[in-house]
Chains A and B, each alone.
Chain A
Amino acid sequence: MDLLEYQGKQLFAKHGVPTPSGIHAATVDDAVVAANEIGYPCVVKAQVAIGKRGKAGGIKIADNEAEARAHSEAILGMDIRGFTVHDLWIERASDIANEYYASVILDRGEKKLLAMLSRMGGMDVEEIAESDPTAMVKRHVEPGGSLEVEVAREIAHEAQIDDDVVDGVARMLVQLADLAVAEDATLIEVNPLIVTADREVIALDSKVTIDGNSMFRHEDLAAYPDKSAEDPQEAMAKEKGLTYVKLDGNVGILGNGAGLCMSTLDVVAQAGGDPANFLDAGGGSKAEAIVDALEVITSDEKVTAVLFNIFGGITRCDEVAKGIIEASTHVQLKVPLVVRLDGTNQEEGLRLLAEANLPNLHQEKTMLGAAARVVELANA
Chain B
Amino acid sequence: MSIIVDTDTKLVVSGLTGREGTFHGLRNRDYGTELVAGVTPGKGGQDVDGVPVFDTISEAVEERGANTSMVFVPARFAAAAIDEAIASGVKTVVAITEGIPVHDMLKTYWKAREAGVRLIGPNCPGVLSPGKANVGIIPAQFFDPGPIGVVSKSGTLTYQIGNELKQAGAGNSTIVGIGGDPVVGSDFIDILTLFEEDPDTELIVMVGEIGGDAEERAAEFIAENVTKPVVGYIAGFTAPPGRQMGHAGAIISGSSGTAQAKKDALEAKGVRVGTSPTEAAQIAVQVLTS
B174 to chain A, nearest CB (A): 17
Q: Which residues of A contact B155 (CB under 8 A)?
A: 257, 259, 283, 313
Residue of B nearest to A366 (CB): B278
By size class, the interface of chain B is: 35 or more
Contact of B75 with A259 in the complex, beta carbons under 8 Å: no
Distance in angstroms from B241 CB to nearest chain A CB is 10
Stretch from B6-14, B53-61, B137-145 that touches the partner:
B137-145
Q: Does A131 contact B (CB under 8 A)?
A: no
Stretch at the interface among A27-35, A205-213, A297-305: A205-213
Q: Known: A103-B246, A259-B154, A314-B137. Contact between A343 and B238, CB under 8 A?
A: no
Per the bound structure, the CA–CA distance linking A85 and B139 in Å amounts to 47
Q: Is A125 an interface residue (CB 8 A)?
A: yes
CB distance from B222 to the nearest CB of A (A): 16
In the bound complex, CA of A343 to CA of B139 (Å): 9
A-side contacts of B239, CB under 8 Å: 262, 265, 278
Say yes or no for A225: interface residue by CB 8 A criterion. no
Across the interface, name the chain A residue whose C-beta is closest to B259.
A266
B248/A103 in contact, CB under 8 A: yes
- Among A16-24, A106-114, A154-162, the stretch that binds chain B is A106-114
B213 to chain A, nearest CB (A): 6
Assess whether A256 is interfacial by the CB under 8 Å rule. Answer: yes
Partner of A313, one of B102, B137, B276: B137
Kindly supply a per-residue 1/0 record for chain B positions 212-228, scoring 1 wherever the CB is within 8 Å of any chain A CB and 0 otherwise. Answer: 11100100000000000
Complex Cα distance A37/B235, Å? 52
Interface centre among B100, B110, B243 (most CB of A within 10 A): B243
How far apart sit A278 and B275, CA to CA, in the bound complex (Å)?
A: 19
Q: List, in ascending order, chain A residues with CB within 8 A of B277's CB.
A: 263, 367
Select the residue from A143, A257, A343 with max chain B CB neighbours within 10 A. Answer: A257
Would you list 14 pairs from A and B whose C-beta atoms are within 8 A, ordered by A residue? A105-B246, A109-B213, A111-B106, A125-B247, A143-B109, A211-B103, A213-B100, A214-B102, A247-B240, A259-B209, A266-B236, A266-B276, A269-B238, A343-B163
Binding site for B on A (CB under 8 A): 2, 49-51, 103, 105-109, 111-114, 116, 124-126, 129, 136, 138, 143-144, 180-181, 184, 186-187, 189, 191, 207, 209, 211, 213-214, 216-217, 245, 247, 255-260, 262-263, 265-270, 275, 278, 283, 311-315, 342-344, 366-368
- 12 new A-B contacts at CB < 8 Å, known A129-B251, A265-B238: A126-B247, A187-B245, A214-B101, A245-B240, A259-B180, A259-B209, A262-B238, A263-B276, A266-B235, A342-B163, A343-B159, A367-B276
**Interface of B toward A, CB cutoff 8 Å:** 75-76, 99-103, 106-107, 109-110, 125, 137-139, 141-142, 152-160, 163, 180, 182-183, 207, 209-210, 212-214, 217, 235-240, 243-253, 259, 275-278
